Structure 1
Amino acid sequence: MKKTEVLATTIEMARSGLGFTPADAFACIADLIEQEDAESELYDSRVEKLLRLGACIWTLRHGMFSPSAAEIVPEKQSR
Protein backbone atom coordinates (compact mmCIF):
# COMPACT_ATOMS: atom_id res chain seq x y z
CA MET A 1 0.00 0.00 0.00
CA LYS A 2 1.43 3.38 -0.97
CA LYS A 3 1.53 6.35 1.41
CA THR A 4 -1.35 8.17 -0.29
CA GLU A 5 -3.51 5.04 -0.04
CA VAL A 6 -2.59 4.66 3.62
CA LEU A 7 -3.55 8.27 4.31
CA ALA A 8 -6.84 8.07 2.38
CA THR A 9 -7.81 4.77 4.03
CA THR A 10 -6.88 6.08 7.47
CA ILE A 11 -8.99 9.20 7.02
CA GLU A 12 -11.94 7.18 5.73
CA MET A 13 -11.71 4.76 8.66
CA ALA A 14 -11.56 7.68 11.12
CA ARG A 15 -14.59 9.35 9.52
CA SER A 16 -16.46 6.03 9.77
CA GLY A 17 -15.63 5.73 13.47
CA LEU A 18 -13.39 2.71 12.95
CA GLY A 19 -10.29 4.13 14.63
CA PHE A 20 -8.90 2.91 17.92
CA THR A 21 -9.27 4.86 21.12
CA PRO A 22 -5.87 6.08 22.33
CA ALA A 23 -5.84 3.35 25.00
CA ASP A 24 -6.64 0.67 22.42
CA ALA A 25 -3.97 2.08 20.10
CA PHE A 26 -1.37 1.72 22.86
CA ALA A 27 -2.54 -1.84 23.51
CA CYS A 28 -2.23 -2.61 19.79
CA ILE A 29 1.28 -1.14 19.70
CA ALA A 30 2.24 -3.22 22.74
CA ASP A 31 0.89 -6.35 21.01
CA LEU A 32 2.84 -5.56 17.85
CA ILE A 33 6.03 -5.07 19.86
CA GLU A 34 5.43 -8.35 21.70
CA GLN A 35 5.08 -10.14 18.35
CA GLU A 36 8.46 -8.87 17.13
CA ASP A 37 11.32 -11.36 17.13
CA ALA A 38 13.86 -10.04 19.65
CA GLU A 39 16.57 -12.02 17.83
CA SER A 40 15.94 -10.25 14.51
CA GLU A 41 18.50 -7.72 13.34
CA LEU A 42 15.55 -5.41 12.59
CA TYR A 43 14.05 -5.70 16.08
CA ASP A 44 15.48 -2.47 17.50
CA SER A 45 14.50 -0.31 14.52
CA ARG A 46 10.98 -1.80 14.31
CA VAL A 47 10.36 -1.42 18.03
CA GLU A 48 11.70 2.13 17.96
CA LYS A 49 9.26 3.03 15.15
CA LEU A 50 6.36 1.56 17.11
CA LEU A 51 7.40 3.42 20.25
CA ARG A 52 7.66 6.66 18.28
CA LEU A 53 4.15 6.03 16.97
CA GLY A 54 2.99 5.60 20.56
CA ALA A 55 4.74 8.82 21.54
CA CYS A 56 2.95 10.62 18.70
CA ILE A 57 -0.43 9.30 19.87
CA TRP A 58 0.34 10.30 23.46
CA THR A 59 1.42 13.79 22.38
CA LEU A 60 -1.68 14.32 20.25
CA ARG A 61 -3.94 12.92 22.97
CA HIS A 62 -2.52 15.33 25.52
CA GLY A 63 -2.79 18.34 23.19
CA MET A 64 0.90 19.12 23.40
CA PHE A 65 1.18 20.34 19.81
CA SER A 66 0.56 23.96 19.03
CA PRO A 67 -1.90 24.12 16.13
CA SER A 68 0.14 26.81 14.41
CA ALA A 69 3.72 25.73 14.95
CA ALA A 70 3.47 22.00 15.68
CA GLU A 71 5.92 22.44 18.53
CA ILE A 72 5.63 20.85 21.94
CA VAL A 73 3.88 23.23 24.31
CA PRO A 74 4.72 22.96 28.03
CA GLU A 75 1.91 21.69 30.23
CA LYS A 76 0.05 24.31 32.25
CA GLN A 77 1.07 24.44 35.89
CA SER A 78 -1.69 23.86 38.40
CA ARG A 79 -2.37 26.57 40.95
Structure 2
Amino acid sequence: MTLSGNVQEGAWSVNVQTEPVEGGGYRSTVQVKHSSPEGDFERTFLHGKQFSTEREAVLDGLREGMTWIELKMARTFKV
Protein backbone atom coordinates (compact mmCIF):
# COMPACT_ATOMS: atom_id res chain seq x y z
CA MET A 1 0.00 0.00 0.00
CA THR A 2 1.21 3.51 -0.73
CA LEU A 3 0.05 6.58 1.10
CA SER A 4 -0.21 10.06 -0.30
CA GLY A 5 -0.83 13.46 1.17
CA ASN A 6 -1.68 16.93 -0.07
CA VAL A 7 -1.58 20.38 1.45
CA GLN A 8 -2.68 23.46 -0.46
CA GLU A 9 -3.61 27.04 0.08
CA GLY A 10 -4.17 29.74 -2.47
CA ALA A 11 -1.44 29.67 -5.09
CA TRP A 12 0.69 26.85 -3.68
CA SER A 13 0.40 23.10 -3.10
CA VAL A 14 2.49 20.22 -1.82
CA ASN A 15 1.84 16.61 -2.86
CA VAL A 16 3.60 13.58 -1.39
CA GLN A 17 3.50 9.91 -2.30
CA THR A 18 5.32 7.08 -0.54
CA GLU A 19 6.96 3.97 -1.90
CA PRO A 20 8.59 0.99 -0.21
CA VAL A 21 12.38 0.78 -0.12
CA GLU A 22 14.22 -2.46 -0.82
CA GLY A 23 15.30 -3.96 2.49
CA GLY A 24 12.47 -2.30 4.43
CA GLY A 25 11.17 1.15 5.14
CA TYR A 26 9.65 3.87 3.00
CA ARG A 27 10.66 7.01 1.17
CA SER A 28 8.59 9.78 -0.34
CA THR A 29 8.46 11.74 -3.55
CA VAL A 30 7.56 15.39 -2.99
CA GLN A 31 6.01 17.73 -5.57
CA VAL A 32 5.70 21.44 -4.85
CA LYS A 33 3.83 23.98 -7.00
CA HIS A 34 3.60 27.73 -6.62
CA SER A 35 2.03 30.30 -8.94
CA SER A 36 3.11 33.92 -8.83
CA PRO A 37 3.24 36.97 -11.12
CA GLU A 38 6.89 36.08 -11.84
CA GLY A 39 5.78 32.72 -13.24
CA ASP A 40 4.79 29.26 -12.18
CA PHE A 41 7.18 27.11 -10.17
CA GLU A 42 7.03 23.32 -10.00
CA ARG A 43 9.59 20.97 -8.51
CA THR A 44 9.49 17.22 -7.88
CA PHE A 45 12.16 15.54 -5.79
CA LEU A 46 12.85 12.37 -3.85
CA HIS A 47 13.06 13.03 -0.11
CA GLY A 48 16.57 12.23 1.10
CA LYS A 49 15.50 10.33 4.20
CA GLN A 50 14.19 6.81 4.67
CA PHE A 51 11.47 6.10 7.25
CA SER A 52 10.30 2.98 9.06
CA THR A 53 6.60 3.78 8.50
CA GLU A 54 4.61 5.27 5.64
CA ARG A 55 2.98 7.71 8.05
CA GLU A 56 6.39 9.18 8.97
CA ALA A 57 7.38 9.34 5.28
CA VAL A 58 4.21 11.26 4.32
CA LEU A 59 4.34 13.70 7.23
CA ASP A 60 8.02 14.51 6.82
CA GLY A 61 7.60 14.81 3.04
CA LEU A 62 4.80 17.34 3.53
CA ARG A 63 6.96 19.24 6.02
CA GLU A 64 9.87 19.29 3.57
CA GLY A 65 7.65 20.50 0.73
CA MET A 66 6.13 23.24 2.87
CA THR A 67 9.65 24.38 3.80
CA TRP A 68 10.47 24.65 0.09
CA ILE A 69 7.35 26.77 -0.48
CA GLU A 70 8.18 28.99 2.49
CA LEU A 71 11.73 29.58 1.25
CA LYS A 72 10.57 30.18 -2.33
CA MET A 73 7.91 32.69 -1.25
CA ALA A 74 10.49 34.49 0.94
CA ARG A 75 12.72 34.67 -2.16
CA THR A 76 15.51 32.94 -0.27
CA PHE A 77 16.52 31.21 -3.49
CA LYS A 78 15.69 31.23 -7.20
CA VAL A 79 15.17 27.98 -9.08
- Which structure has the larger Rg? 1
Greater relative contact order (CA < 8 Å, ≥ 6 in sequence): 2
Question: Comparing both structures, which one devotes a greater share of its residues to strand?
Answer: 2
Answer whether TM exceeds 0.5 for this pair: no
TM-score between the two structures when normalised by the length of structure 1: 0.34
TM-score between the two structures when normalised by the length of structure 2: 0.34
Question: Comparing both structures, which one devotes a greater share of its residues to helix?
Answer: 1
